[in-house]
């Protein structure tokens, strides 16, 4: 460990270490280079690391999914526990509408506060206003069975259902 006085400039630390990262006074490294080459190599190394970090950040930003229809493929109108014929208007008591921000059903109206998709399962943290003006926070999970069917589960399993997509 190199002990440097308080207020020491980082360049002085670099001068205290040779190119191979050894402390002066330690056994000589036959592959060490002179001070000017070490500074030049160190600068090149820093530039390469900065470029690599920038490329990694750019790759992470590009690879992040855009929150849109592809990220939330369950948006649509559904019937609860029965196959939907037409647009579902013949049974409004079983109609469930899902958007990327809200879930509307006869049981209440929910705002989707956050969501996460893992494979066919989409988990959402919701804030629901139910009859009687009660506000409930909870978690729900939609599992995609196929293009027209979802399994719905709430955290307490009090209103699990199968949702069948209606024609748009």
Residue 94's SS3 state is: helix
| Residues paired with residue 137 on neighbouring β-strands, in sequence order | 127
> pTM of the prediction?
0.57
Contacts of 40 (CB under 8 A, 6+ apart): none
**Cα separation, 16 vs 77, whole angstroms:** 69
Q: What confidence tens digit (pLDDT) does each residue in 67-103 have?
A: 444 568 999 999 999 998 887 778 889 999 999 999 9
In b/e form, how buried is each residue of 77-110, taking b as 16+ CB within 10 angstroms? bbbbeeebeeebeeeeebbbebeeeebebebbeb
Asked whether the beta carbons of 91 and 81 are under 8 A apart, the reply is no
Q: What confidence tens digit (pLDDT) does each residue in 6-17 have?
A: 555 555 544 544
130 band by pLDDT with thresholds 50, 70 and 90? confident
């Amino acid at each position: 460990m190199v002990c440097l006085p308080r207020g020491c400039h980082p360049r002085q630390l670099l001068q205290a270490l040779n190119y191979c990262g050894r402390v002066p006074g330690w056994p000589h490294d036959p592959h060490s280079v002179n001070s000017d080459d070490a500074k030049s190599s160190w600068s090149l190394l820093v530039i390469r690391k900065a470029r690599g970090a920038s490329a990694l950040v750019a790759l992470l930003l590009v690879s992040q999914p855009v929150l849109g229809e592809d990220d939330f493929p369950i948006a649509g109108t559904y019937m609860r526990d029965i196959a939907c014929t037409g647009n579902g208007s013949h049974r409004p008591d079983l109609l469930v509408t899902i958007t990327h921000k809200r879930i509307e059903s006869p049981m209440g109206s929910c705002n989707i506060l956050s969501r996460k998709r893992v494979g066919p399962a989409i988990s959402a943290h919701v804030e629901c206003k139910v009859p009687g003006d009660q506000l409930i926070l909870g978690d729900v999970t939609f599992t995609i069975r196929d293009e027209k069917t979802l399994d719905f589960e709430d955290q307490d399993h009090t209103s699990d259902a199968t949702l069948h997509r209606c024609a748009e």
